[in-house]
């Protein structure tokens, strides 16, 4: 792998290799007072965020720093992008400064692929592009789910909400299908993309009917910033039909888990107290995100498996 642009570029073995690597990093960090591994000493990682982010940006920065890389954050809102500099010129500038990897979030689908096409030997990691892909989110979701429930094969994962605008749903459907999980999308018809029947998932509009058989339910944020029309009558009606209320939470099997990529809109797609329930693994997802991003930076910048190179985790 030179870049990580899309889950569709990965084989099931490559997906599992990243998840296994993430678990090895988690193990290597366990009980350490000083979380610093020498793995990426001398490597330089730039994060380029053209959209807001808390989790993805902070966990990439943490992942790089815990592996001793130099991590520099570039935010579009405080960079020369504001003066009119193009994405191409910005990316080439950071490469010329010495970037070994660019971690990119951009509102336009295909932006990371576009940079990868001209950037040469600098690694490009897609940290979310429009409504297209969020591969590191899907990898951390799968890692969390496997840590909670074991092998993903045959597990029923119900993904609920704004599928239309969700790069998380697209990446998760591809990854979960690759690992043999059964995926059901639950959404109002207006929030489903054209061609969803070709995504290899089941589609339902009845959340109550799906919850009793779910091993995991993944609630999605309603992405108001990508909506330019009325996709549902009101927030209240959306919450009533598609929100994970206390009553719906009680329909889940005792060992089912509740997931959310964040940021959560409590009271909209998820009830306030359900967001803090013992089987809600939102914060475990965040923690797994650091391990997964360590694994990805390691595999792209060093290559191979760290288990055979114990000094990288020493």
Q: Give the binding range for ligand CP (CB under 6 A) out of 243-251, 256-264, 296-304, 305-313.
A: 256-264
Q: Closer CB to ligand CP, residue 179 or residue 288?
A: 288
CA distance 62 to 224: 29
**Size of the residue set binding ligand CP (CB under 6 A):** 9
**Which DSSP category does 103 fall into?**
E
- For the chain, strand residue ranges (E) read 44-49, 70-75, 101-106, 123-129, 156-160, 182-186, 202-204, 216-219, 257-259
Query: Under rule CB under 6 A, which residues in 19-48 are in contact with ligand CP?
Result: none
Query: Would you call 55 a catalytic residue per the annotation?
Result: yes
CA nearest neighbour of 160 among 270, 256, 281, 246: 270
Helices 167-178 and 12-29 sit at what angle, rounded to 10 degrees?
Answer: 100
Q: Give the binding range for ligand CP (CB under 6 A) out of 54-62, 144-152, 236-244, 248-256.
A: 54-62
Q: How far is the CB of 30 from ligand CP (least distance, A)?
A: 24
Q: Closer CB to ligand CP, residue 19 or residue 37?
A: 19
Binding mask 99-128 for ligand CP (x = CB under 6 A): -----------------------------x
* Binding of ligand CP by 54 (CB under 6 A): yes
> Which pair of structure tokens corresponds to residue 308?
């055979």
Query: Would you call 56 a catalytic residue per the annotation?
Result: yes
Binding ligand CP (rule: CB under 6 A), the pick from 39, 56, 131, 306 is 56
CA distance 168 to 64: 23
Q: How far is the CB of 134 from ligand CP (least distance, A)?
A: 6
Query: Would you call 305 a catalytic residue per the annotation?
Result: no
Which of these is catalytic: 55, 167, 170, 291? 55
Report in angstroms the alpha-carbon separations of 87 from 134, 211, 301, 312: 19, 43, 23, 34
Residue whose tokens read 């570029």: 9
CA distance 139 to 293: 9
Binding ligand CP (rule: CB under 6 A), the pick from 263, 283, 304, 309 is 263
* Binding of ligand CP by 262 (CB under 6 A): yes
Helices 55-66 and 282-301 sit at what angle, rounded to 10 degrees?
Answer: 50
Which of these is catalytic: 47, 56, 90, 280? 56
CA distance 113 to 172: 19
**Which DSSP category does 69 fall into?**
-
Q: Give the binding range for ligand CP (CB under 6 A) out of 52-60, 79-87, 90-98, 235-243.
A: 52-60
Query: Would you call 82 a catalytic residue per the annotation?
Result: no
CB 269 within 8 A of CB 160: yes
Q: Closer CB to ligand CP, residue 72 or residue 286?
A: 286
Q: Closer CB to ligand CP, residue 130 or residue 262?
A: 262
Q: How far is the CB of 263 from ligand CP (least distance, A)?
A: 6
Q: Which parts of this chain interact with ligand CP (CB under 6 A)?
A: 53-56, 128, 137, 261-263
Positions annotated as catalytic residues are 55-56, 83, 105, 134
């Amino acid at each position: 792998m030179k870049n990580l642009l899309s889950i569709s570029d990965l084989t099931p073995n490559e997906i599992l290799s990243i998840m296994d690597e993430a678990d090895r990093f988690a193990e290597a960090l366990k009980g350490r007072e000083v979380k610093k591994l020498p793995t990426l000493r001398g490597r330089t990682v730039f994060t380029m965020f053209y959209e807001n982010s808390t989790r993805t940006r902070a966990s990439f920065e943490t992942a790089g720093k815990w592996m001793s890389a130099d991590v520099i954050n570039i935010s579009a809102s405080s960079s020369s992008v504001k003066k009119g500099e193009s994405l191409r010129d910005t990316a080439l500038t950071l490469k010329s400064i010495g970037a070994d990897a660019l971690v990119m979030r951009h509102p336009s689908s295909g932006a990371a692929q576009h940079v990868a096409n001209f950037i040469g030997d600098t690694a490009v990691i897609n940290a979310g592009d429009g409504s297209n892909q969020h591969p590191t989110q899907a990898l951390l979701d799968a890692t969390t789910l496997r840590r909670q429930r074991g092998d993903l094969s045959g597990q029923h994962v119900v993904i609920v909400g704004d599928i239309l605008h969700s790069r998380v749903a697209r990446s998760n459907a591809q990854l979960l299908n690759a690992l043999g999980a059964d995926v059901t999308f639950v959404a109002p018809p207006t929030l489903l993309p054209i061609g969803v029947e070709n995504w290899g998932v089941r589609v339902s509009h009845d959340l109550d009917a799906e919850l009793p058989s779910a091993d995991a339910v993944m609630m999605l944020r309603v992405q108001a910033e990508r909506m330019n029309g009325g996709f549902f009558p009101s927030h209240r009606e959306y919450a009533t039909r598609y929100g994970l209320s206390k009553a719906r939470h009680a329909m889940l099997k005792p060992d089912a888990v509740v997931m959310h990529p964040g940021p959560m809109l409590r009271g909209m797609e998820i009830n306030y107290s359900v967001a803090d329930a013992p089987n809600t693994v939102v914060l475990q997802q965040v923690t797994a995100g650091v391990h997964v991003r360590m694994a990805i930076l390691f595999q792209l910048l060093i290559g191979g498996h760290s288990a055979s190179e114990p000094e990288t985790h020493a």
